[in-house]
């Protein structure tokens, strides 16, 4: 029998590095409920059984989180802490209990409720939030398995080094990977912000995700080569390809070692210009890991997680605790809190949200907040209170004109007055605006007079400028932050900022793009905010360029 023909699988570069090794195809059976219904006299007992299953799963997750903390794996531990909260989520429990009272079996109820909640996340345009659908399915799947007396199996039985191929890997499955034995990961689903990608990066495992249906065509592969930097894998590579990968592996190992010196140094250009390299965070739990990567601040703290899948809006005190925690973690380093940025793609409890044909061009971000003071004011009050704990700044999203900024500042002023009258301690915060609509970039000269800083949200700026939905695969060629139209708008914003004497940052994915960093610095951008693992390389790139703007 002749050698197998090599097959290339193209996907998303999820975790840097290369690896070559035997293939291990992980294909667990789909979890199906053992029974669909129950009788009326079983309802209360089955609800109690469901509650016990929730606590059992929360206990298991807690053990994993504690073990990861002890091993110094902070970011992975935070994922499991979030999963504990999700397992005990009141709205999820109520949805399951309602289904049980309708005589659905608890295992069927929890799987159905989980799929409904996951669908809400998956429909969101924000890639980071959409990736949380997998977390919901993971946790509810564990609860259903507990109810049915099934135990996890498969991955932990792996006894020899291998490259794992799978449709997807949930955080709970990734946590069971034997240490030092997984050479690489290739999944059909996933994105750079999915938890399999986050955990692969934290564990230093090369990973390619989102290869789609091509994965099915390599079920019989013997050897797989993974390039998590370029975003592709080769099934049954020839000898020449294998040799090339081995060379790459040695080169990357040397590069990783060289990057260590940049992790905790200040980023400066060759001529001494200071460029701040910060982290994008989705939760205060991620602060420790960001600091370990050398974050010099937080350029974007997403507050949406506090509002997700709840029966009630988060209280002012709950928000204060989250903002104060990240402020304390970073001390004097700046932390930019972005106010709530959701719209019709996500229902908020107690908020009358209209059905919109295109919610991403609708009532969202600052527009929604200004119209709903019961949503906006508690968040601003919490931010002002938390400002006593560190160096907090506030940033408003989805701005189209200066009137919105004036209105937002007026609400912030009201909140200061209220806190002062109550005798509640609060701090001062600088005010910034997201440059993510073409209107904001065009109106930048006027906006710059009203705020202390700009932060360019390249993800949305690209899609709004080029009328190309960033979730539409057919429009991938247009999803380019380096498109001339996008770069021209960024240039306009930078010129307006310089004229007004304020600074400009970038907090979209493009902030970590090695090819774009020199162009951003040349335009006058002085802060770049990104996924924490990208920080050392960004600092290295900055150290190798001149900061003097082109004439």
What distance in Å separates the CA atoms of residue 536 and residue 261, rounded to the nearest whole number? 8
What distance in Å separates the CA atoms of residue 389 and residue 376, rounded to the nearest whole number? 21
Among the listed residues 369, 443, 492, 507, the single catalytic one is 507
Buried b (16+ CB within 10 A) or exposed e, 158-186: beeebbbbbebbbbbbbbbbeeeebbbbb
Query: In this structure, what token pair is assigned to residue 205?
Result: 């495992």
Query: In this structure, what token pair is assigned to residue 522?
Result: 């040349």
Q: Kind and range of the H or E element at 254?
A: helix 239-263
Three-state SS annotation for 536-550 = HHHHHHHHCCCCCCC
Query: In this structure, what token pair is assigned to residue 121?
Result: 């996340």
What distance in Å separates the CA atoms of residue 522 and residue 547, rounded to the nearest whole number? 6
With residues binned 3-state (H G I as helix, E B as strand, rest as coil), the percentages for the chain, rounded to 5, are 50, 15, 35
CA–CA distance from 317 to each of 147, 322, 351, 378, 383 (Å)? 35, 9, 20, 9, 10
Q: What is the largest CA-CA distance in the chain?
A: 84
* Residues 6+ away with beta carbon under 8 Å from 225: 18, 19, 20, 163, 233, 234, 237, 241, 242, 245
Q: Kind and range of the H or E element at 529?
A: strand 527-530
Identify whether 507 is a catalytic site residue.
yes
Q: Bridge-partner residues for 504, per DSSP?
A: 454
Strands 276-281 and 232-235 come out as unpaired
Query: In this structure, what token pair is assigned to residue 378?
Result: 């508690």
Q: Are 144 and 105 in contact (CB under 8 A)?
A: no
Among the listed residues 195, 284, 285, 369, the single catalytic one is 195
Gyration radius (Cα) of the chain, Å: 24
- Would you please indicate which residues are annotated as catalytic (active-site) residues? 195, 507
């Amino acid at each position: 029998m002749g050698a197998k023909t090599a097959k290339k699988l193209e996907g998303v570069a999820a975790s840097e590095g290369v690896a070559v090794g035997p293939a291990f195809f992980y294909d667990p059976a789909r979890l199906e409920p053992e029974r669909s219904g129950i009788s009326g006299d079983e309802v209360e007992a089955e609800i109690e059984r469901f509650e016990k299953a929730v606590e059992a799963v929360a206990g298991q997750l807690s053990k994993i989180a504690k073990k990861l903390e002890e091993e110094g794996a902070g970011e992975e531990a935070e994922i499991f802490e979030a999963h504990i909260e999700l397992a005990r989520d009141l709205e999820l429990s109520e949805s399951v209990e309602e289904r049980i009272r309708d005589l659905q079996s608890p295992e069927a109820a929890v799987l159905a409720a989980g799929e409904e909640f996951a669908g809400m996340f998956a429909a969101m345009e924000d890639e980071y939030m959409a990736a949380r659908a997998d977390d919901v399915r993971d946790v509810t799947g564990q609860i259903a398995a507990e109810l049915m007396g099934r135990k996890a199996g498969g991955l932990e039985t792996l006894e020899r080094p291998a490259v794992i191929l799978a449709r997807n890997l949930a955080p709970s499955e990734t946590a069971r990977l034997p240490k030092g034995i997984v050479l690489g990961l290739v999944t059909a689903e996933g994105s750079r912000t999915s938890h399999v990608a986050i955990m692969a990066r934290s564990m230093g495992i090369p990973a390619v995700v989102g290869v789609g249906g091509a994965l099915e065509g390599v079920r019989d592969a013997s050897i797989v080569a993974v390039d998590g930097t370029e975003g592709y894998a080769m099934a049954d590579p020839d000898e020449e390809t294998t040799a090339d990968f081995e060379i790459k592996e040695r080169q990357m190992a040397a590069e990783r070692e060289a990057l260590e010196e940049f992790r905790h140094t200040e980023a400066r250009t060759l001529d001494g210009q200071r460029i701040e390299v910060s982290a994008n965070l989705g939760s205060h739990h991620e602060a420790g890991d960001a600091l370990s990567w050398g974050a010099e601040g937080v350029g974007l703290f997403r507050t949406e997680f506090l509002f997700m899948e709840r029966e009630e809006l988060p209280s002012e005190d709950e928000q204060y605790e989250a903002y104060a925690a990240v402020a304390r973690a970073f001390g004097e380093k700046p932390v930019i809190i972005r106010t709530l940025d959701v719209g019709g793609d996500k229902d908020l409890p107690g908020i009358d949200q209209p059905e919109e044909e295109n919610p991403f061009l609708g009532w969202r971000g600052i527009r929604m907040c200004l119209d709903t003071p019961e949503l906006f004011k508690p968040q601003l009050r919490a931010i002002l209170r938390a400002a006593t704990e560190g160096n907090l700044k506030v940033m408003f999203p989805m701005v189209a004109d200066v009137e919105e900024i004036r209105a937002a500042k007026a609400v912030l002023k009201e909140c200061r007055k209220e806190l002062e009258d109550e005798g509640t301690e609060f701090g001062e915060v600088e005010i910034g605006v997201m440059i993510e609509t073409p209107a904001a970039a065009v109106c930048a000269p006027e906006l710059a007079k009203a705020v202390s800083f700009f932060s360019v949200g390249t993800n949305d700026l690209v899609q709004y400028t080029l009328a190309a939905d960033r979730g539409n695969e057919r429009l991938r060629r247009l999803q380019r932050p380096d498109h001339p139209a996008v770069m021209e708008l960024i240039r306009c914003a930078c010129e307006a900022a310089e004229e007004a004497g304020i600074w400009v940052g970038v907090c979209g994915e493009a902030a970590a793009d090695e090819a774009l960093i020199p162009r951003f610095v040349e335009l006058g951008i002085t802060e770049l905010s990104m996924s924490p693992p990208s920080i050392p390389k960004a600092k290295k790139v900055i150290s190798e360029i001149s900061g003097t703007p082109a004439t």
